[in-house]
Amino acid sequence: MAAVSGLVRRPLREVSGLLKRRFHWTARAALQVTVRDAINQGMDEELERDEKVFLLGEEVAQYDGAYKVSRGLWKKYGDKRIIDTPISEMGFAGIAVGAAMAGLRPICEFMTFNFSMQAIDQVINSAAKTYYMSGGLQSVPIVFRGPNGASAGVAAQHSQCFAAWYGHCPGLKVVSPWNSEDAKGLIKSAIRDNNPVVVLENELMYGVPFEFPPEAQSKDFLIPIGKAKIERQGTHITVVSHSRPVGHCLEAAAVLSKEGVECEVINMRTIRPMDMETIEASVMKTNHLVTVEGGWPQFGVGAEICARIMEGPAFNFLDAPAVRVTGADVPMPYAKILEDNSIPQVKDIIFAIKKTLNI
Amino acid sequence: MRKMLAAVSRVLSGASQKSASRVLVASRNFANDATFEIKKCDLHRLEEGPPVTTVLTREDGLKYYRMMQTVRRMELKADQLYKQKIIRGFCHLCDGQFLLPLTQEACCVGLEAGINPTDHLITAYRAHGFTFTRGLSVREILAELTGRKGGCAKGKGGSMHMYAKNFYGGNGIVGAQVPLGAGIALACKYNGKDEVCLTLYGDGAANQGQIFEAYNMAALWKLPCIFICENNRYGMGTSVERAAASTDYYKRGDFIPGLRVDGMDILCVREATRFAAAYCRSGKGPILMELQTYRYHGHSMSDPGVSYRTREEIQEVRSKSDPIMLLKDRMVNSNLASVEELKEIDVEVRKEIEDAAQFATADPEPPLEELGYHIYSSDPPFEVRGANQWIKFKSVS
């Protein structure tokens, strides 16, 4: 473990060189990369690949990023490509969109997506709708990224999940990575996409290491936007989730497996455009559905999945109503016991699955 | 002498219809150019401003006259079509209403005269004039207003969302276009090609907070952005005195140098723009221009424009400061053109507008099948949901 963290502290180029060598020498080298480093790698590779890519946001340059996600980038690329902004979300988001309209490929970081509310007009009205309104003349190749949803002890104004808000709007693409592989593949696809893409990261996941498969180590590793991944095969019930809760679903699945219940866990990866095909195919196999998300229940991601299931072929395969597990319908409280019970816990997921299966 | 002969032969070779008046015109001795005095600009944080005299060539004069008349007539035609209900929704015209620029023609033509086609421009919703001066045809503009497939945005955008090369609309949320413009200026600096971005907003939007955010970042990063406030003294129904604690819009950039320009005089606008563009191109950072203009009609077609000001006020401005009249008088009095020649241009412009209006009225609406098009750029086709789950539209980039 110390060896791994030592590796991570070194410059990335050195690290990937070392990793390659390691992989070559041992039979099965388990390369561990945190979500933070995966995003960093992804951005670094894209900055190197295309001169037009640049990053702007609060503290992204000299501070190395409020959550250290952009560590080392300013040192490597300088003031022109990594730009510290004043606290002016509406202003700098608009500047980023304007730069994208003029042909650059900005990555606009919101320190958290809570602050993006100040700039939401620029995201929706200036970025998302423009290609349509212009009849296909003006594209906006921009990425908006930053941590989304609940953190730990940061209270109501800093804990909102924006998946449903951004997922609502045509013209936007919205992705929500869970692990390191997701984070790297999706940020790279987002940067290469010629459309406005919102990348909803998760602060609590930044420090979590995951095994990085060999293909993820490539500079051209991309995860397609709009495609979900089946993280765990199962036969009894389909459990669909995005971001951090995917991990909780896998934990719940492990517990239930001991009781003979096999859950199929789907990691959405993309909120918009949603991969309904994968979800429907799974429900048609398992006949049961539980959705799990961190955001509020009303008009949420789970609500949309349930509505679409009713409209499609999978409805006739359901043996029980589809069920949602969500954040509690309250502004996020501060005290630990209250906060813990305001987000979906593993026990809540297990309970919902058992209720659906009537066991 | 040689220059005059060249001018004469240009006129002769250019004319396709040889009417009697044309032959008469061609044989007259016109001046090649003339020098005019223009109003001095008020300055903020600037040692010197634009020159107080300028040279207007006959060629440029005729070009500006034609462009201003075209913008005016195009907007009057839009006004007419709106009253006939052939144009729907919002119609902000340059003379007020319907986002039409009538009297603000000097602004769009004057600004264009001060920059290069490779420079950039963005404005809010009173955009038809700029759409034309930035290179689109009257046909495509009117057809977009009538919502037809021959419109510049294929009928998807309407009055407020027209785009052209180096012209970024056409923006409906006033104030939002200002950070966008600063961003385009950032791209200009990033690309290192000495281009500038003209970023326009009205006296109403001038009080938006995000404009001050844009001022701050543009000054910090020395972006080649010319912030331009078109002050027509009314934000919808609210006069500037009732909206702004300081109506010196050219000073509102604080640390950004500014000029206050007579927006009714196209030559004044041109010189100020040249000055501002040179300032930006030299790397000194952003600059602010306030163009003082007036809005004849109301804010938009639904506003007669007299509940918050007097008819006398409107009449006075109309008679004293009409920018097209001003240019015409100057040219005629300095022998740069004849009254008949300018009348000819009027006739040609009127015909062009008529033809364009014909097209805009006759062209079919966009096909329903294309309702879902242009959601995403550069993507393979996919399906878009309609009003219910059984209605699906194909979406193509």
Q: What is the DSSP string of A165-186?
A: HHHT-TT-EEE---SHHHHHHH
**Interface ipTM:** 0.90
* Residue A215 reports pLDDT greater than 60: yes
pLDDT of residue B26: 54
Residue A140: closest C-alpha in chain B: B377
Q: Is A239 helix (H, G, I), strand (E, B) or coil?
A: strand
Mean pLDDT for chain B overall: 90
Domains A33-217 and A229-357 share a fold: yes
B393 within domain boundaries: no
Question: Which chain B residues are Cβ-neighbours of A91 within 8 angstroms?
Answer: 179, 182, 210, 213-214, 216-217
List, as ranges, residues 286-315 from A with C-beta within 8 Å of B. 311
The alpha-carbon gap from B218 to the nearest alpha carbon of chain A, in Å, equals 9
Contact pairs from chain A to chain B, CB under 8 Å: 146
Total domains present in chain B:
1
pLDDT of residue B320: 74
Residue ranges covered by each domain of chain A: 33-217, 229-357
pLDDT over 90 percentage in chain A: 92
The alpha-carbon gap from B106 to the nearest alpha carbon of chain A, in Å, equals 26
* pLDDT tens column, B90-103: 777 765 444 455 56
List, as ranges, residues 176-235 from B with C-beta within 8 Å of A. 176, 178-188, 190-191, 197, 209-210, 213-214, 216-217, 220-221
CB contact under 8 A, A121 and B120: no
Q: What are φ and ψ of residue A27, in 5° steps?
A: -65, -50
- Cα gap B381→B117, rounded to integer Å: 34
CB contact under 8 A, A137 and B153: yes
List, as ranges, residues 227-266 from A with C-beta within 8 Å of B. none
- Cα gap B61→B324, rounded to integer Å: 11
Residue A214 token pair: 């060999």
Mean pLDDT for chain A overall: 94
B375 and B384 in contact (C-beta within 8 Å)? yes
B222 closest CA partner among B129, B164, B287: B287
Residue B105: give the domain boundaries: 39-364
CB contact under 8 A, A94 and B183: yes
* pLDDT tens column, A219-249: 999 999 999 999 999 999 999 999 999 999 9
Interchain contact A194–B (C-beta under 8 A): yes
B204 and B300 in contact (C-beta within 8 Å)? no
CATH placement of domain A229-357: 3.40.50.920
Task: List the single range of A26-35, A175-184, A286-295, B325-334 with lowest mean pLDDT.
Answer: A26-35
Q: Among B186, B217, B221, whose Cβ lies nearest the Cβ of A88?
A: B217
- Tell me the three-class secondary structure of A46-107, residue by residue: HHHHCCCEEEEECCCCCCCCCCCCCCCHHHHHCCCCEEECCCCHHHHHHHHHHHHHCCCEEE
Residue A238 token pair: 């389909």
Q: What is the mean pLDDT of residues B288-310?
A: 75
Residue A20 token pair: 């390659």
CATH of the domain at B85: 3.40.50.970
pLDDT of residue A234: 98
CATH placement of domain A33-217: 3.40.50.970
pLDDT of residue A20: 47
Whole-model pTM? 0.91
* Residue A21 reports pLDDT greater than 80: no
CB contact under 8 A, B183 and A311: no
B30 within domain boundaries: no
- Cα gap A167→A190, rounded to integer Å: 15
B314 and B283 in contact (C-beta within 8 Å)? no
Look at strands A289-292 and A237-241 and give their pairing: parallel
Question: Which chain A residues are Cβ-neighbours of B143 within 8 angstroms?
Answer: none
The residues of A that are catalytic are 89, 158
* Residue B65 reports pLDDT greater than 60: yes
How far is CA A217 from each of CA A45, A200, A226, A291, B229, rounded to the nearest angstrom?
11, 22, 22, 31, 51
- Cα gap B267→B287, rounded to integer Å: 19
* pLDDT tens column, B267-280: 999 999 999 999 99
- Cα gap B124→B174, rounded to integer Å: 6
B5 within domain boundaries: no
* pLDDT tens column, B108-130: 999 999 999 999 999 999 999 99
* pLDDT tens column, A309-330: 999 999 999 999 999 999 999 9
The single residue listed with the structure tokens 């608009």 is A94
Interchain contact A122–B (C-beta under 8 A): yes
Interchain contact B173–A (C-beta under 8 A): yes
B257 and B42 in contact (C-beta within 8 Å)? no
Higher pLDDT, B309 or B158: B158
- Cα gap A134→A145, rounded to integer Å: 25
pLDDT of residue A127: 98
